[in-house]
Structure 1
Amino acid sequence: MTLVHKTYGKGRVRVMRVHRGGGRHEVRELSVQAMLTGDFDRTFTHADNLRTVSTDTIRNVVNIVARENLALGNEEFCRAVAQRLLDSYDAAETATVSAHETRWARLTVDGTPHPHTFTLDGNGKPTASVTMSRSGTRIESGVAGFTFLKATESGWARYHKDPYTTIPETDDRIAATSMEASWLWRAAPADYAAANALILDTMLRVFATTYSHSVQDSLYRMGTAALDAVPELDTITMACPNKHYLLLNLAPFGLDNANQVFVATDEPHGQIECTVGR
């Protein structure tokens, strides 16, 4: 029998790069696949791994190149990873590196682009619900899957600790979520679309411009601000899973990582929910 074709590598290497240019941050999130061909036949045919690079090593190369090239665009970043793989491993004949970008659009607050807060490009789906009976009508509006993040000005510290606790305290982390929110009307606004836009803008302004001690802290203040801004609201309910960006330990490779390169992970996630009312 003949081995007709072979390739291997690492897929779904999810990496977030944060380029901190003074007070202005740029974020680039990619899901990378890096595949090699070359002199690896014996790993398939003779259980001989001597010349074959571990897929875990390939992932590390992606992360190291990310740390060394925080501002590269997608094409040049893929090129840099491929070049590093070919330069590092003589057995490799080709390196094919592809990436899908999760695009983040800079949030505008009061007409000014915010330095470190972003919303997912093509974001969110407006929702509406009406329950009508002979005794009255209940109207709710909302948004599903509205995703946003801030690259700094967020922390998680001074929480309960016990022998099961492993997460370290931090006063500077990425805070990101994909929010499901609905709000109950106690009276009809003059314009539902304008009122809904004001609610979302108000919540994002709070998120962007104030320090977040936790997602819980931000949600309560966001809900309170929305109720203050729109008197026709009765309650607002928010469900926000954490989108985790975990700081990569690059010390084994002689590199620092001052909140610049993160691995993106959706599961498991913290699930934070609350309802704020008058």
Structure 2
Amino acid sequence: MPLIRNSYGKGRVRIMRVKRETDRHEVRELTVKALLTGDFAANYTSDDNSTAIATDTVKNIVNIVARDNVGAENEPYAAALAKYFLDHYLQVSQVDVTASETKWARLLVDGAPHQHSFLLDSNGKPFVKLSATRAGSTVTSGIENFTFMKTTESGWVGYVMDEVTTIKETADRMCATAMDASWRWSKAPSSYPEANAKVLATALKVFATTYSPSVQNTMYLMGEAVLAAVPEIAEISMACPNKHYLPIDLSLFGRNGDKQVFTPTDEPHGQIECTVGRA
């Protein structure tokens, strides 16, 4: 039976590039699929792997080229990735790269674009819950999956260290979450849309402009600020999964990551929740 066509490579390679040349950081998050076509028939039809390039190697190359092209737009990055394979492996005749971008918009603080804090585009799902009896009603507003991050000004040190602790302390890490939050009204504001917008703007300003020693502390400060800014709110509850961006170790390939190339991970994540209310 003839082998009609073949290709292989690596899919769903998630990569976050952070250009940190100035205080104004640029971010590009991609999910990459790189497929190779060429002299690989023997890999399929026999036990001859002499021309095979390991798919793990394909993943490493995606990361290496990302580090070497931190600031490149997506199209030049894809071109550089394809060129690497064609330049280094004679058995490769064609490279097909698909790179899907997760778009981040720069977070606005007091109307000005922030240097290193970002919001996910098409972000969040607002909701309202109302419970009513003849005696009265309770109104809760909120938002689900509201995703934001910053590329610096976050750390995690001083926690319990014992024989099963493996995470390393750091005073400078990326911080990202997809927050579910709800706030219970003690009375109706003059405008629900304006008040709800003020809740999010207030919380995000704290997130962007305050150094975070922990997600826990940042959540508390966000809740405290919201209650101060919107007096009609009785309490605010937040659940913030700690979405990790893990630095990629490229030292084996003669490159320093310099906190510019990360693997985005959604699972498992730290799940951190709190409610802040009035005394």
**CA root-mean-square deviation:** 0.7
1:47-85 superposed Cα distances (whole Å, 9 cap, x missing partner): 211110000000100100110111111111111000001
One-letter amino acid of the structure 2 residue matched with residue 226 of structure 1: V
d(CA) in 2 for partners of 1:21, 1:199:
33
Secondary structure at 1:118's aligned position in 2?
A: strand
1:93-140 superposed Cα distances (whole Å, 9 cap, x missing partner): 101111000000001111211000000011111111100012221100
d(CA) in 2 for partners of 1:124, 1:237:
16
Spell out the pairing of 1:17-36 with structure 2 (5 A cutoff): 17-36=17-36
1:236-267 superposed Cα distances (whole Å, 9 cap, x missing partner): 01111121110000000000011100011111
d(CA) in 1 for partners of 2:243, 2:219:
15
One-letter amino acid of the structure 2 residue matched with residue 174 of structure 1: M
1:198-220 superposed Cα distances (whole Å, 9 cap, x missing partner): 01000000000000011111101
Runs of 4+ in 1 over 2 A off after TM superposition: none
Secondary structure at 1:201's aligned position in 2?
A: helix
Residues 1:263 and 2:275 aligned together = no
In structure 1, the partner of 2:89 is 89
Spell out the pairing of 1:134-213 with structure 2 (5 A cutoff): 134-213=134-213
In structure 1, the partner of 2:250 is 250
d(CA) in 1 for partners of 2:113, 2:158:
32
d(CA) in 2 for partners of 1:84, 1:38:
15
One-letter amino acid of the structure 2 residue matched with residue 265 of structure 1: T
Q: Which runs of 5+ in 2 are unaligned?
A: none
d(CA) in 1 for partners of 2:152, 2:74:
23
TM-score (norm 1): 0.99
d(CA) in 1 for partners of 2:206, 2:161:
29
In structure 2, the partner of 1:43 is 43
d(CA) in 1 for partners of 2:267, 2:194:
35
Quote how far apart the aligned CAs of 1:162 are. 1.1
Spell out the pairing of 1:58-77 with structure 2 (5 A cutoff): 58-77=58-77
d(CA) in 2 for partners of 1:113, 1:26:
12
The percentage of aligned residue pairs carrying the same residue is 56
Quote how far apart the aligned CAs of 1:88 are. 1.1
Secondary structure at 1:141's aligned position in 2?
A: strand
In structure 1, the partner of 2:3 is 3
Secondary structure at 2:218's aligned position in 1?
A: helix
In structure 1, the partner of 2:56 is 56
| Number of residue-to-residue matches in the alignment | 278
1:190-235 superposed Cα distances (whole Å, 9 cap, x missing partner): 1110000001000000000000011111101000100010111011
One-letter amino acid of the structure 1 residue matched with residue 12 of structure 2: R
Q: Which runs of 5+ in 1 are unaligned?
A: none
One-letter amino acid of the structure 2 residue matched with residue 56 of structure 1: D
